[in-house]
Amino acid sequence: MLTPPWLEPMLKTRFFTHCVEHREMPRNECNMFCADCFEHSSAFCIYCRTQKHSDHHVIQIRRSSYHEVVRVKEVEGLIDVKGVHTYVINSADVFFLNERPQPRGVGAAAGKAAASPFFCEVCSRSLLNDFRFCSIGCKASRSLCHCRF
């Protein structure tokens, strides 16, 4: 499966800002991304979705420990997620969007024996199981550089 053209812009988008158009409304956090009109759109709120993206494929971005995640169900038919580490958060299977910083002295890059023998092929983050990538972003960066996917 080829990397879709909206994936890289989504990975670079800044989420969880307040919507300028709906600043007076409650729940106006920009945590949505449109895979259909990504060239003309950035993150948007639930009110923008209703007004401008009601019949589009919208992906909701969530947060876990201050990092963006997306539910597996929302992206598995749109992108190749094989080899990306999944986590269960609030009873839902999720992927992290981008690489997360590691504490110093952790992971394969530290040169010490880690608790897990599995590491992300891009950022060397320690993984819990036999996965190749810690996030969608790490897998996409491998794909975008035309390396073996």
Average pLDDT of the residues in 104-113? 51
Secondary structure (3-state) at 29:
strand
pLDDT at 107 over 60: no
Q: Take residue 17 and report the two structure tokens written for it.
A: 């800002």
Residues 6+ apart with CB under 8 A from 146: none
In the chain, what are the domain boundaries?
A: 7-103+114-144
Confidence category of residue 100, pLDDT binned at 50, 70, 90: confident
Among residues 143, 79, 70, 134, the alpha carbon closest in space to that of 102 is found at 134
**Whether this model's pTM surpasses 0.85:** no
Among residues 109, 139, 143, the alpha carbon closest in space to that of 126 is found at 109
E strands, the chain, are 32-34, 58-60, 62-64, 67-71, 87-89, 92-96, 118-119, 126-127
